[in-house]
Structure 1
């Protein structure tokens, strides 16, 4: 029912999220119609001209009670049968790192710092004294054992298609909300806490552009939490590649770290 109103779905679990939203709205529509009809009936049935004297006994029928119980049961089914199992899957069934693309995203006013572990698969150490907002906002220690090959970008997240992505979210300053509408992912980022989210992209950027007929279509990263006076500018982009294209992108980024003309921090 509402799919046409949503951003194009592009993750493995997006269909289930959309179905859940549809079910909730169908229930709300049914409640709106039933209670609306009941409200009009009550206005007519108990109008003053028909009931000049107050009735202190009230409603004798059990129908309203039955209706309330039916609504509670329907809501319980949605909660226990759909919402909780779906949430438990997202939280408890995280795929292993060895089978996933693992990324850290550090939010700040007003940017997304995207951090990849490099070829060794390990993230380097961080040092608060190394933080420089222009060249090293995450405080990455490139002299640490695993830090030399780490890759860092601003507002640019790259992932391979059909492979689980685990993104560890944190924040440098205030609460932000990491939102990937096409992937049906949204999670608050909280200072001092690392929160993982995961999903499997199912359509490359090239595929979604072909499907939508829009050659400029992009997967956007939005901040869904008012985080300051430039909240509007906290916009990032997700590019989904084939496995080969993703590896080529990693190799290109890694070459900036080893080349004689190091333009790693040029954007």
Structure 2
């Protein structure tokens, strides 16, 4: 007589359909990763544009502000010397030293933006920005441009991006950097190329300023 309780099945399911489906899904994922994701990442993110075709700039973080530096028409940054570092010249720029600036022709037309000044970039043109810090570790982040990079003292780390719309975007610090961290905000203004060229030319012809 059969009991009310079902007997144990010591064999289990013998179908291999589930295994075949899992293998197929895994194969598709490998194809997507190797065939599309990795090459796209290498092309869009990892491969930097040519410096000759890009706008170069250097962005410096400090508690609790951002400042920026641009090369002039020659496309070359001026020299730096650690011996020249002072509160008013934290990067040790020869350009800001009255006695030595004549020895630095490349730096004569460089543009230094003081801390908490709007940083300007051209729309539709590749930008290569080198990120560093004067004090502690910060992190340069612009949500709308999908760019984030730690700013580390003693290191100059490059990132690149292309802004596709004219607008003003907020720069955030994505690394806890002290009691004023929440107030460490900056502005990145994206303008047309003619407007950017005119702005940079006007700044280059002005008297150099410190980063204070």
Which TM-score tier does this pair reach, normalised by the shorter chain? 0.7 to 0.9
Does the 8 A contact of 2:90 with 2:134 survive in 1?
A: no
> Please, what is the CA RMSD of the aligned residues?
3.0
**Within-5 A mapping of 1:22-171:** 60-90=14-44, 93-133=47-87, 135-142=88-95, 143=101, 144-145=103-104, 146-153=106-113, 154-155=115-116, 156-171=118-133
TM-score, normalised relative to structure 1: 0.62
TM-score, normalised relative to structure 2: 0.76
Residue 163 of structure 2 corresponds to which residue in structure 1? 201
Shift of 1:54: 7.6
Q: Partner of 2:206: helix, strand, or coil?
A: helix
Does the 8 A contact of 2:67 with 2:211 survive in 1?
A: no
Given candidates 255, 258, 264, the residue that maps to 2:205 is 255
Does the 8 A contact of 1:149 with 1:257 survive in 2?
A: no
Does the 8 A contact of 2:121 with 2:127 survive in 1?
A: yes
Does the 8 A contact of 1:204 with 1:239 survive in 2?
A: yes
The structure with more helix, counted as a fraction of residues: 1
Does the 8 A contact of 1:106 with 1:138 survive in 2?
A: no
Q: Distance in 2 between matches of 1:123 and 1:57?
A: 75
The structure with more strand, counted as a fraction of residues: 2
Q: Distance in 2 between matches of 1:54 and 1:129?
A: 83
Does the 8 A contact of 1:126 with 1:138 survive in 2?
A: yes
Shift of 1:129: 3.3
Shift of 1:247: 1.9
Task: State which drifts further: 102-111 or 185-194.
Answer: 185-194
Question: Which stretches in structure 1 are left out of the alignment for 5+ residues?
Answer: 1-49, 206-217, 259-263
Residue 15 of structure 1 corresponds to which residue in structure 2? none
Q: Distance in 2 between matches of 1:58 and 1:173?
A: 64
Given candidates 119, 125, 134, the residue that maps to 1:172 is 134
- The alignment status of 1:182 with 2:140, answered yes or no, reads no
CA 1:257 to 1:62, structure 2 compared with 1: closer, same or farther past 3 Å?
Answer: same
> How many residue pairs align between the two structures?
200
Question: Which stretches in structure 2 are left out of the alignment for 5+ residues?
Answer: 96-100
Shift of 1:162: 1.8
Given candidates 208, 223, 226, the residue that maps to 2:173 is 223
